[in-house]
């Protein structure tokens, strides 16, 4: 299917070339410390600064993070509560306070379907990890956006602990933004009260407000407001792409990181994901129908309901979208509103209207419906994961052929000749091959469009490492499995991490720290990561192996390119 990449080399020495960044050996030690600290915080850790930090709202004091020399500031409000009259309004300025606010506790999470999180509508808060010893330092900044299909997630997730990246010289910020109906409801009445005449993108407006807060305040934490990178995974990756297209975010960041879900606009796989943008007219029809299901006929009645009535986003599908498969996207997701998002992906790229930012984007081995070979029997028994945004998994011959004819129509016979199968196991293997080719080719072709409107470098990757633990045989290198490695944060500590995992985490977090710093993941001691080139259909394999690989064989690349050309663009 692809050319093999090189095995992971065993190496020592320095890693990060810029002053103020730890080498790879020191980073590996920091990762080990973090692993232990997350299991039981160490009293030996020392904060990098003991004096309070002044923000525009007031003074805050942090606490020692999981790596010695790093301070974390938790639960800082970047906007006011979204309850009451502020529900379904753009984020309002954060309140001020007197004295020193002790930022030692994560703030409330956005309302969602959860039995473990402390949630409220006063959820627009952020967290900062920094190793800077004063406000005169100017370290690069990484703002992280969680995934979860725009219906789940929180910036306080332990997987996003920024201690290791902060120890490697970055200032790490994780944020909360509104989810589900509270973040993405659109109705004519909401649009009528808005000064721009639109509704439906409150979650994106939260993200933009957080970036503006960073612009105004991050220097006090040792960050450089002129060197901000925005990154995310899944819906967070989609948010990164949308912010990279939004004129409201112009100038607020210089670089983007998108872990999964950056796709060519004509790829039907895009349609079932949470990042399949809604049309405004469709959203304005869906909103009142949803309100009626809650027994509300007016905006005032909607605002009078408790927030617990609006936590069902993860269970609601948008049945109006033809995805060329049985999968459907979540109902609540961003809207092409003409203001936050003036146009969809293809129209933006073809108009060369995106923000001119660096880009790092990639996909995983076992996502989008691809599964480990050890999981075929499991999925035959478990069946299709029937939830919004979830891809179909094809592990029987009948299902594989039926799905191929639904997706490829007149090109189905050609597809089945390129990816043949005569048994259930052959069908499962062929499905994996096709899904992975689709994913890599789609991101490669996305790059051909993106780079026409942005002059900055692009780096793409394909993540192949299957973490240890209970998910190894069933989920493999699953959707999101790369996150803790990029953060250098092998959480939870009970998962059975090996020396190989620690070295991979050190390598990936070093790549990311370099990219955050200067727009290039490469550095001494790291396998060479070539920049994306439109005329070179290759991608950097990372994780289990390191090195360039073909996105697909030449005949399959031609097939996918022709197929996408027959599809409507998103």
Interatomic CA distance for residues 36 and 506, integer angstroms: 15
Cβ atoms of residues 232 and 145 within 8 Å = yes
Q: What are phi and psi of 535, to 5 degrees?
A: -90, 5
What's the Cα-to-Cα distance from 414 to each of 392, 411, 420, 425, 554, rounded to whole Å? 21, 5, 10, 20, 15
Nearest-angstrom CA–CA distance, 328 and 342: 24
CB 189 within 8 A of CB 285: no
CB 529 within 8 A of CB 541: no
For residues 525, 526, 528, 534, the Cα torsion angle rounded to the nearest 10 degrees is -150
Look at residues 534, 539, 540 and name the one whose alpha carbon lies nearest to residue 446. Answer: 534
- Closest by CA to 226, choosing from 217, 213, 215, 212, is 215
Residue entry with tokens 């069946």:
383
The question of whether 96 is a catalytic residue gets the answer no
- The region that residue 429 occupies, defined by phi over 0 for left and psi between -120 and 50 for alpha, beta otherwise, is alpha
Among the residues of 396-538, which ranges form H helices? 397-408, 412-418, 424-453, 483-486, 499-518
Say if strands 139-145 and 171-175 run parallel, antiparallel, or are unpaired. parallel
In 166-286, where do the E strands start and end? Answer: 171-175, 223-233, 255-259, 278-279
Chain-centroid distance, C-alpha 280:
24
Burial of 114 (0-12, 13-18, 19+ CB in 10 A): middle
End-to-end CA distance of the chain: 28
Catalytic residue among 48, 156, 163, 234: 234
Taking alpha carbons only, the member of 327, 331, 323, 341 closest to residue 285 is 331
Tell me how many degrees the CA angle 243-249-255 measures, rounded to the nearest 5.
65
Residues assigned a catalytic role? 234
């Amino acid at each position: 299917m692809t050319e093999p990449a090189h095995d992971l080399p065993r190496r020592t020495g320095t890693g990060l070339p810029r002053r103020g960044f730890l080498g790879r050996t020191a980073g590996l030690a920091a990762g080990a410390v973090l692993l232990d600290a997350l299991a039981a915080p160490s009293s030996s850790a020392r904060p990098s600064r003991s004096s309070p930090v002044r923000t525009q709202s007031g003074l805050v004091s942090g606490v020692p993070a999981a790596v010695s020399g790093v301070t974390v500031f938790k639960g800082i409000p970047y906007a006011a509560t979204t309850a009451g009259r502020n529900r379904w309004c753009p984020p309002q300025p954060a309140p001020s306070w007197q004295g020193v606010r002790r930022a030692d506790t994560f703030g409330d999470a956005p309302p969602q379907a959860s039995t473990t999180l402390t949630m409220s509508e006063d959820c627009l808060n952020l967290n900062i990890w920094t190793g800077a010893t004063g406000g005169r330092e100017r370290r690069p900044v990484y703002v992280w956006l969680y995934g979860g299909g725009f219906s789940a997630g929180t910036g306080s997730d332990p997987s996003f602990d920024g201690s290791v990246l902060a120890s490697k010289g970055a200032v790490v910020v994780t944020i909360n933004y509104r989810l589900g109906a509270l973040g993405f409801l659109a109705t004519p009445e909401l649009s009528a009260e808005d000064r721009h005449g639109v509704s439906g993108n409150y979650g994106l407006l939260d993200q933009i407000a957080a970036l503006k807060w960073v612009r105004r305040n991050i220097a006090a934490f040792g960050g450089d407001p002129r060197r901000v990178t925005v990154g995310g995974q899944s819906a967070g990756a989609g948010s990164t792409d949308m912010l990279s297209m939004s004129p409201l975010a112009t100038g607020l960041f210089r670089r983007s990181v998108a872990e999964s879900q950056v796709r060519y606009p004509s790829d039907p796989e895009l349609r079932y994901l949470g990042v399949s943008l809604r049309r405004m007219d469709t959203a304005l029809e869906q909103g009142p129908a949803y309100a009626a299901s809650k027994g509300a006929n007016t905006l005032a009645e909607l605002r009078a309901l408790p927030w617990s009535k609006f936590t069902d986003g993860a269970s609601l599908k948008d049945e109006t979208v033809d995805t060329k498969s049985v999968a459907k996207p979540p109902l609540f997701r961003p809207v092409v509103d003409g203001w936050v998002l003036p146009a969809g992906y293809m129209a933006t790229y073809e108009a060369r209207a995106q923000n001119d930012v660096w880009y790092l984007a990639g996909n995983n081995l076992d996502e989008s419906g691809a599964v480990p070979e050890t999981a075929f029997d499991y999925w035959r028994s478990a069946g299709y994961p029937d939830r919004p945004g979830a891809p179909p998994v094809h592990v029987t011959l009948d299902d594989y052929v039926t799905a191929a004819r639904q997706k490829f129509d007149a090109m189905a016979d050609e597809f089945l000749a390129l990816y043949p199968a005569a048994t259930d196991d052959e069908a499962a293997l062929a499905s994996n091959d096709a899904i992975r080719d689709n994913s890599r080719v789609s991101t490669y072709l996305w790059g051909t469009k993106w780079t026409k409107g942005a002059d900055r470098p692009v780096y793409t990757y394909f993540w192949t490492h299957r973490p240890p633990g209970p998910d190894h045989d069933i989920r493999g290198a699953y959707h999101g499995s790369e996150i803790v490695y990029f953060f250098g944060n092998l959480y939870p500590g009970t998962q059975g991490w090996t020396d190989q995992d620690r070295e991979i985490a050190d390598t990936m977090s070093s790549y990311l720290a370099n990219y955050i710093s200067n727009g290039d993941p490469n550095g001494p001691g790291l396998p060479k990561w070539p920049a994306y080139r439109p005329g070179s259909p290759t991608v950097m394999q990372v994780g289990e192996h390191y090195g360039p690989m073909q996105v697909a064989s030449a005949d399959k690349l031609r097939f996918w390119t022709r197929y996408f050309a027959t599809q409507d663009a998103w």
